[in-house]
């Protein structure tokens, strides 16, 4: 709720600091004292257009700061602040500040963090609900009527929303499967052609690297063929160096026992024979590996060309071609299996649809029953508020299936007829602002809630009425303020009615004074004596009489 409002240099207000508490707070004062200035100032922190005419004459800038405190921060506020990356600790007050320059432009802050004005407008719906002569928000807006009726009925909206989500997923899955199968059938001939082409080649994972390495070796073999042939002539035959070494080793073996140096020479020669043998084996292996076969080289190059051409065709790597084959087979298999899978998905979608419809129809019945009760409750409030001829109707209408949603199959709108025989029309079509405010009050009392806003403000709801009607308005305002969600609600009323003013838990008097050529507006929190005097003034006019004071006392005692 709103706990503090600080205003600097707004029109006739140079500096004003107000504190507010729970319950019904009333603001009174003579006509023209400046009550609208307070509402305009509050509108700035709620995101209203920054009008430079609000800046006090002679000042460079103006500012308004509003402080709101909550037991638990409402979800709408929490989500909006998180999305805007505004940090607020649990239990910390929400402080909104708007600064307006005389030469144009404004800045907004939430807990001293700069924000856009759009965020203020988003927060406003959960902070303050204003009902005045030109009300176009709150209960007047039909977008919130369904939610209000569901709260009143304690309806199972969550169950319908869950069923809707299940149905939505089933429909999406069915549609996706149908699209996939239809696309696959349209491409079936192309799929078969692609699969046949791949099957004829039968690509293998890792094949490209193996073929490329083989081709490289063959190309090297072609280049080294002459040198390898020369080396083979050196090592082959009985006159080769290796053969001569072996002959020398056999001869030395016979005489080596005769002297240690001969034995060492034999060992060295044996090592040479072994190393030479290994060299011969390596040369033979290299010759075989680098063997140049023109036909085989052509085959490898042709294979590589075909594989790489297919990879380009399917926009993949050569090693991915086996997976492409598997994917093509899966699509073709899906065409064959598609009818069976489709039948299962269609059955699941029908089942989800039936569950949703059953729950939505049950919700419709709950809404219709609750609408009748709400109509009766509102009707009971109309006569005391001097709306005897008015009629109220909660219109619950089933929508066509294409308009069904997680909220059910209904549209809900509050309608009224202000005169006998007149057609029902939306709340916002009421001609009289005073009637509209009283009608909204009747609806709020019947709903026994405040529409979600932390603070509700009624601006001159008692315009044009007095006596018993004003008393009825005051009684209902107090009841509404004291019964909000069990947390001590807050309702502020700008009023000219002494009967309404007497009901306030707190009373603020707005006054205008002149100091030479300077005019100022001030606001004072009245004590018991001050309340008696102000209510007496409201009763008697310019001259406060003892009789008016006595009547004021009676009003205060009866409140």
Domain ranges of the chain: 190-331
Q: Above 60 in pLDDT, residue 485?
A: no
Average pLDDT rounded to a whole number, residues 506-535 = 87
Distances (CA, A) of 461 to 26, 45, 436: 12, 23, 8
Q: Match 């602040």 to its residue by tokens.
A: 81
- Cβ-based neighbours of 172, under 8 Å, separated by 6 or more: none
Q: Cα angle at 168 between 164 and 170, to 5 degrees?
A: 120
Average pLDDT rounded to a whole number, residues 68-82 = 86
Average pLDDT rounded to a whole number, residues 476-495 = 76
pLDDT band of 287, cuts 50, 70, 90: low
Provide the 3-class DSSP secondary structure of residue 5: strand
Q: What's the pLDDT at 484?
A: 46
pLDDT band of 389, cuts 50, 70, 90: confident
Q: Identify the H or E element spanning 395.
A: strand 391-398
pLDDT band of 191, cuts 50, 70, 90: confident
The listed range with the strongest mean pLDDT (214-228, 306-320, 462-476, 485-499) is 306-320
Q: What is the pLDDT of residues 192-202, one digit of tens each?
A: 889 899 999 88
Nearest to 321 by CA among 211, 189, 210, 205: 205
Percent of the chain with pLDDT over 90: 34
Q: Above 60 in pLDDT, residue 137?
A: no
Q: End-to-end alpha-carbon separation of the chain, Å?
A: 23
pLDDT band of 483, cuts 50, 70, 90: low
Q: What's the pLDDT at 166?
A: 96
Half-sphere exposure of 65 (CA within 13 A, CB side): 16
Q: Above 70 in pLDDT, residue 452?
A: no
Q: Match 């004062």 to its residue by tokens.
A: 29
Q: Which residues of 260-282 are buried (b: 16+ CB within 10 A; e: fewer)?
A: eeeeebbeebeebeeebeeebee
Distances (CA, A) of 377 to 120, 324, 361, 392: 35, 69, 24, 10
Q: Which residues of 467-486 are buried (b: 16+ CB within 10 A; e: fewer)?
A: eebbbbbbbbbbebbeebee
- Cβ-based neighbours of 189, under 8 Å, separated by 6 or more: none
Nearest to 505 by CA among 451, 556, 448: 556
Q: Above 60 in pLDDT, residue 347?
A: yes
Distances (CA, A) of 269 to 238, 240, 277, 369: 18, 16, 12, 114
- Which is higher by pLDDT, 341 or 556? 556
Rounded to whole angstroms, how far apart are CA atoms 288 and 278?
15
Rounded to whole angstroms, how far apart are CA atoms 419 and 440?
17
Average pLDDT rounded to a whole number, residues 466-487 = 77
Average pLDDT rounded to a whole number, residues 394-422 = 92
Q: Identify the H or E element spanning 397.
A: strand 391-398
Q: What's the pLDDT at 236?
A: 66
């Amino acid at each position: 709720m709103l706990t503090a409002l600080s205003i600097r240099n707004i029109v006739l207000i140079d500096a004003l600091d107000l504190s507010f508490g729970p319950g019904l707070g009333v603001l009174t004062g003579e006509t023209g004292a400046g009550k609208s200035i307070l509402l305009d100032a509050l509108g700035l922190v709620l995101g209203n257009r920054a009008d430079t005419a609000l800046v006090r004459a002679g000042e460079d800038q103006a500012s308004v700061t509003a402080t709101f405190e909550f037991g638990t921060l409402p979800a709408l506020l929490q989500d909006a602040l998180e999305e805007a990356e505004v940090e607020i600790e649990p239990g910390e007050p929400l402080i909104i500040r708007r600064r307006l320059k005389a030469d144009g432009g404004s800045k907004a802050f939430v807990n001293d963090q700069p924000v856009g004005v759009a965020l203020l407008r988003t927060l406003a719906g959960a902070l303050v609900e204003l009902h005045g002569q030109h009300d176009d928000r709150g209960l007047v807006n039909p977008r919130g009527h369904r939610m209000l009726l569901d709260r009143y009925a304690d309806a199972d909206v969550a169950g319908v929303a869950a069923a809707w989500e299940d149905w939505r997923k089933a429909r999406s899955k069915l549609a996706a499967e149908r699209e996939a199968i239809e696309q696959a059938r349209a491409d079936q001939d192309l799929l078969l052609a692609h699969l046949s082409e791949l099957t004829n080649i039968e690509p293998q994972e890792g094949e490209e690297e193996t073929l490329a390495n083989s081709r490289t070796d063959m190309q090297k073999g072609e280049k080294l063929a002459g040198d390898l042939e020369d080396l083979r002539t050196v090592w082959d035959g009985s006159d080769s160096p290796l053969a001569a070494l072996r002959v020398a080793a056999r001869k030395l073996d016979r005489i080596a026992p005769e002297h240690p140096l001969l034995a060492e020479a034999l060992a060295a020669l044996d090592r040479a024979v072994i190393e030479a043998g290994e060299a011969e084996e390596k040369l033979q292996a290299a010759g075989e590996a680098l063997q140049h076969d023109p036909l085989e080289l052509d085959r490898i190059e042709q294979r590589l060309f075909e594989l790489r051409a297919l990879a380009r065709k399917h926009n993949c790597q050569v090693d991915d071609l086996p997976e492409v084959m598997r994917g093509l087979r899966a699509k073709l298999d899906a065409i064959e299996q598609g009818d069976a899978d489709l039948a299962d998905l269609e059955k699941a979608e029908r089942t989800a649809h039936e569950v949703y419809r059953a729950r939505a129809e049950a919700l419709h019945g709950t809404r219709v029953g609750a609408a009748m009760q709400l109509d009766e409750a509102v009707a009971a409030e109309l006569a005391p508020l001097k709306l005897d001829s008015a009629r109220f109707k909660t219109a619950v209408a089933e929508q066509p299936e294409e308009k069904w949603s997680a909220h059910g199959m209904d549209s809900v709108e509050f309608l009224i007829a202000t005169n006998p025989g007149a057609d029902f029309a939306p709340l916002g079509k009421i001609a009289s602002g005073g009637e509209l405010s009283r009608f909204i009050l009747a609806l709020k009392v019947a709903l026994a809630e405040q529409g979600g806003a932390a603070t509700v403000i009624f601006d001159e709801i008692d315009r044009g009425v007095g006596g018993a009607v004003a008393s009825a308005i005051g009684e209902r305002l107090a009841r509404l303020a004291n019964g909000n969600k069990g947390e001590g609600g807050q309702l502020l009323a700008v009023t000219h009615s002494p009967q309404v003013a007497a009901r306030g838990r707190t009373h603020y008097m707005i006054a205008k004074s002149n100091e030479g050529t300077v005019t100022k507006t001030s606001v004072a929190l009245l004590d018991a004596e001050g309340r008696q005097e102000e209510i007496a003034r409201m009763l008697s006019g310019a001259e406060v009489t003892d009789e008016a004071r006595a009547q004021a006392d009676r009003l205060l005692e009866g409140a």
